[in-house]
Chains A and B, each alone.
Chain A
Amino acid sequence: MAVAVGRPASDDLRNLSLSGHVGFDSLPDQLVNKSTSQGFCFNILCVGETGIGKSTLMDTLFNTKFESEPATHNEPGVRLKARSYELQESNVHLKLTIVDTVGFGDQINKDDSYKPIVEYIDAQFEAYLQEELKIKRSLFNYHDTRIHACLYFIAPTGHSLKSLDLVTMKKLDSKVNIIPIIAKADTIAKNELHKFKSKIMSELVSNGVQIYQFPTDEETVAEINATMSVHLPFAVVGSTEEVKIGNKMAKARQYPWGVVQVENENHCDFVKLREMLIRVNMEDLREQTHTRHYELYRRCKLEEMGFKDTDPDSKPFSLQETYEAKRNEFLGELQKKEDEMRQMFVMRVKEKEAELKEAEKDLHEKFDHLKRTHQEEKKKVEDKKKELEEELNSFQKKKAAAQLLQSQAQQAGSQQTKKDKDKKNFFFM
């Protein structure tokens, strides 16, 4: 039962004029001050082949040296390396995270090159979504890791986009703000550059790749955004080394045939990129990421999980009820799985038991067989023993008999000789 709230008959809002200075014009400042003390997060993803100049460009853009070793070319797959830095300029604290694609374009089979990138972006969205769906959440001091801008480095071939580029950009355009840039632009001559740029843009359009559009709805920035958009994709040169030009030191690359000045708009579009990325549209990039890309991800994810906004009777679903239903469903599934597993377990146990019984029976049989064999052998042995004993006995008897005979014979012989002797003796007497 809603509380009866009286509202004026006409529901449209009326504009009032103030008769004095109220003071809420300080509101934007209040808001900004709060954000300043909290700090800003900005996350850039650099997608490009190894050695195309991603790290150097980051160093040049943010006027500092982010320590990083160059990657090798023999990575087995694409992996993403994220580093965070804290930058401070006057009273603005920026938590900058630069994500690098290590090993992009190095493999022989590049079919799956885009997958780790998409997974990483989705993982950041997922982390934010999980935090948002928590019951006890703390969104206001959540360290936002979602990618706000993706700088796609196009190799300066001078002809057209590689198919790897097209495929990757197509996969990424609905997830992140893509800003394509032509890297190492000092290898392209001016007239070729113009052709290259228009070829790239027409290829992107014909393949339906949605790159980031600089916003033109705000009068203050519409003009500059419109003029800069014409120069897309920006052809940039990065350098952290300084060369003396005239009487100033400027960032440049020195060649035997001349010096390419990074901040000279005639030489390359680096200044434009810096303007667009940092000085004019940083906030818009963050906003687009949150309101467009993240919302799309969230919608898809929740729909995938089965949540709907309205049921077939077009009455709004309560998320609570859906949660309940989902949870019950989930628990039911778990229960089912548990029962299945239990059944399987019982079955397996039975089988094993049967097997074991079989084995046991076999073993018994073998044992019996062995025993019998053993018995037989034993009997044989006994028999043989008996035989041998008998033989031995008979032999002994024979021996004894023989001996007896011999002794008898001897005795008889000796008796005979004794008799003879006696006879002889008798004769002699």
Chain B
Amino acid sequence: MVAMAPGDAADGGWAAVTPEHGSSLEPEECSMEPSAMPEEEMPPSVAPSPAGCQLFGYVGIEAVLDQMKIKTMKTGFEFNIMVVGQSGLGKSTMVNTLFKSKVSRKASQPSQEERIPKTVQLQSVTHVIEEKGVKMKLTVTDTPGFGDQINNENCWDPIIKYINEQYERYLREEILITRKRKIPDTRVHGCVYFIPPTGHWLRPLDLEFMRRLSKIVNVVPVIAKADTLTLEERAEFKQQIQADLKTHAISVYPQEDFDQDPDDRVLNDRIREKIPFAVVGADQEHQVNGKRVLGRKTKWGIIEVENPAHCEFPLLRDLLIRSHLQDLKDITHNVHYESYRVRRLNESNRPALSPLNGLPGKAEGSSDL
């Protein structure tokens, strides 16, 4: 999945040439086909228009793929995910189930008491997980206190501030004269929003939040605790949510504007039909049919988390991790970060004027938008 800035036409130069030249030759095979005439460009400073060339034999260009893989595996990956929702919706359990380990803040700070905070706080926990030689630095940001007050006005402000702060941090690193070789990436790549399973429609809080945040970050809405809905109720709820999102022009991930080619579009359309995923989180294993599965044990049955017939957790996991993780990062980098950068650089005021402390003048390191 390649991210494209909205409004950009498809890159004509690439798409035009390659279909003409069919699948290339097998290695070790020598073909005497005449080569295509390349177009010649004289001025060296103008980007020359490319021409296709037929290879007579195996060159070894495809080895560059392996080279890239080795390099990326060595540097490792970073992934930052944020979970937002009211308390008690199963956010921490969900994250633990996703990454099959105790990554949530509850697990890492067992000494803290569970108490609903007065204001929305953000808590980040970072872990390094490794699988088959691939190292990933995973940061999970939790938002306890979201939507839990009596007056929830502007409860999204701290979250928006946090996200923009990460962009600011990255921007500052990027515009330094002497830059680091690898800029540490703390930007939020995906925000999972937990919708309470009311079964009716989205609440005003949900709409407000998603509307504001889908402009600056990839929002993935999920129906939490979906085991309280029957399948029909689930389908109805989803349709209602999709209609609501459409009415309010909220574009959640995967955004339609960023589909690069028709294959992507087909794939993403299928995903879009199923958004939001109805998920159930569980971190305990039970015995079912002789196998150990993750699930919730109730008196009327065991809800298997990884069973697609029971809940859509596998879909969520596949979307977030197995197929679209890189795409999430790309869209964050190419679209959201770039639009933040444009906004920021277009500001003609000095960035240090802060209405909160009321002091004009140089204040380094802080960024208020």
Interface residues of A, Cβ cutoff 8 Å to B: 1-8, 13-32, 34-40, 61-68, 79-95, 97, 99, 120, 123, 135-141, 143, 145, 218, 220-221, 249, 274-275, 278-284, 287, 291, 295, 298-299, 302-303, 307-309, 315-316, 318-321, 324
Contacts and interface: CB of A to CB of B under 8 A. Distances in A.
Contacts of A91: 62
Contact of B327 (A30, A40, A63): A30
Given A15-B130, A27-B325, A80-B44, 17 more contacts: A3-B161, A8-B108, A8-B109, A18-B100, A20-B100, A23-B317, A23-B318, A25-B134, A28-B73, A32-B72, A37-B260, A63-B55, A67-B35, A84-B41, A90-B23, A318-B350, A321-B351
B228 interface: no
B14 A6 contact: no
Contact of B56 (A63, A82, A324): A63
Contact of A85 (B38, B179, B338, B366): B38
A245 to B, nearest CB: 13
Contact of B8 (A22, A138, A221): A138
Given A25-B134, A320-B347, A86 B59 contact: no
Contacts of A318: 350-352, 364
Interchain residue pairs A-B with the least CB separation, the first 9: A283-B67, A30-B326, A84-B50, A279-B60, A25-B132, A23-B322, A6-B123, A80-B44, A279-B63
Interface residues of B, number: 123
B18 A16 contact: no
A7 B124 contact: yes
B185 interface: no
A319 B51 CA distance: 41
A31 B326 contact: yes
A90 B24 contact: yes
Given A15-B130, A34-B2, A138-B5, A5 B123 contact: yes
B55 A62 contact: yes
Interface string B26-54: 00001000010110111011011111111
Nearest to B71: A283
Contact of B65 (A18, A32, A79, A315): A32
B239 to A, nearest CB: 29
A145 B47 contact: yes
A79 B44 CA distance: 8
Given A6-B124, A86-B53, A135-B345, A24 B24 contact: no
A299 B175 CA distance: 10
The residue in A65, A137, A291 that gathers the most chain B C-beta atoms within 10 A of its C-beta is A65
